[in-house]
Amino acid sequence: MEKQIKNNNYLLPLLLLSLFFQLSLSDNTSHKHFVFIHGSCHGAWSWFKLLPLLQSSGHRVTALDLAASGIDHRNPDSVRSISQYFQPLTDFMSALPQHQKVILVGHSLGGLVVSKAMEDFPTKISAAVFVTATMPGPALNISTIYSKVFERNESMMDSVYSYGDGRNRPPTAFLFGSRFLASKVYQRSPAEDLTLATLLMRAVPLFTEKDMSDVLKLSERNYGSVKRVFVVSEMDLVSNIEFQRWMIENNPPDHVVEIEGSDHVVMMSKPFQLCAHLQLLAQPRP
C-alpha cells in the first residue's frame, strides 16, 4: 500500500505536465493576453514561474507593479489613496485599444485592483481570475470583507507597520516579516522562492476603510457583466479555505476551481496546476 501511495504521488505531477503540454500544442487553443496583478508586499516578480509557461504556449503576458511595489520608484508612505495604488493598472487599461480584451489575474489583495478594473473597463476584460484573492462585489462590500478578516484576530508575528505620519497617527504601510512569510505565506513553496521573497518584499501602503469603500463601488451592470473565476488554495494560511468559501458563497463567481496542496502564493507552490487552469480558461468555448 505504501508503495502504491508513493507511485500516485509521482503520477499526479506527470498527469498535470501531460495536460499542460497537450494544451500547449493544441491547435484549438486561442492565444490570449493575460495581465497579472500581485498581492500585498509583492510585485510583478511574484509571477516569474507562471509567465514563461504561458508564453511558451503562445499567450501574451503582462505583469504589472502597482504603486510603490516591485521596481516602482514611489515610497509606500507617499501613496495616500487606493486609487493612486491602483494607477498602474488603470493607466494600462486606459491605453488598451477598445477592440482588445485581456484576462485579468489577481492574487490576494490584487483582487481589489481587478475588481475596480472590472467596474471601470468591463468591455476590455474577457474574464477575471481571483487567485485566493479578495473578491468584493455589488452585494459584498469591502467593509463586510474586512470585518470578516478581523474576526480571526490572528497574530502577524514579526510583520511590521510603518508610521509615515508619526506614531500618534494610524500606520501608513505594512511589511510581512520573514518568520510570517516562512510559516504562513510560503510554507509549502520551495525554499528558494521564500528566499527570493525576503529579498524583494516591499511594504504595502495602507488605506482608510472610507477611501476603499468610496473607490470600490461595484455595480451589476459593469462588474457583474465580466466572467469571474475563483481559484481556491487548499492550504492557504493567510486567506484560509473557510474565508475563501465564505467570499464565494456571498459573491458567487461563474466558476470555482480548487488547487490541492497549495499555500497562499499558489503561483510559487503549484505553478503547473495554476497554469493548466488558465490554459483551460483560454480555450475557445463551443
pLDDT for the residue 115: 99
Q: Are 89 and 124 in contact (CB under 8 A)?
A: no
Residue 101's region, left for phi above 0, alpha for psi from -120 to 50, else beta, is: beta
Catalytic residues: 108, 236, 264
What is the DSSP code string of 112-158?
A: HHHHHHHHH-GGGEEEEEEES----BTTB-HHHHHHHHHHH----TT
pTM of the predicted protein model? 0.90
Q: What's the CA gap between 187 and 193, in Å, rounded?
A: 10
Residue identified by cell 489583495 is: 109
pLDDT for 28: 43
**Digitized pLDDT (tens) for each residue of the chain, 286 residues in all:** 433 433 444 444 444 444 444 444 443 447 999 999 999 999 999 999 999 999 999 999 999 999 999 999 999 999 999 999 999 999 999 999 999 999 999 999 999 999 999 999 999 999 999 999 999 999 999 999 999 998 887 899 999 999 999 999 999 999 999 999 999 999 999 999 999 999 999 999 999 999 999 999 999 999 999 999 999 999 999 999 999 999 999 999 999 999 999 999 999 999 999 999 999 988 876 5
Do β-strands 160-162 and 173-175 pair in parallel, antiparallel, or remain unpaired?
antiparallel
Which residue in 222, 223, 204 sits closest to 161, CA to CA?
A: 204
Taking residue 156's Cβ as centre, other Cβ atoms within 10 Å add up to 12
Among residues 276, 218, 254, the alpha carbon closest in space to that of 129 is found at: 254
In angstroms, the Cα distances linking 231 to 188, 261, 273 are 17, 13, 11
- Asked if residues 228 and 256 have their Cβ atoms less than 8 Å apart, the reply is no
Residue 39: closest CA among 164, 228, 196, 201:
201
CA proximity to 274, closest of 253, 255, 258: 258
pLDDT of amino acid 74: 97
Q: Which domains, ranges and CATH numbers included, belong to the chain?
A: 30-282 (3.40.50.1820)
CB 243 within 8 A of CB 168: no
- How far is 37 from 114, CA to CA, in rounded Å? 8
d(CA 267, CA 50): 6
CA distance 197 to 178: 9
Write down the pLDDT at residue 30. 75
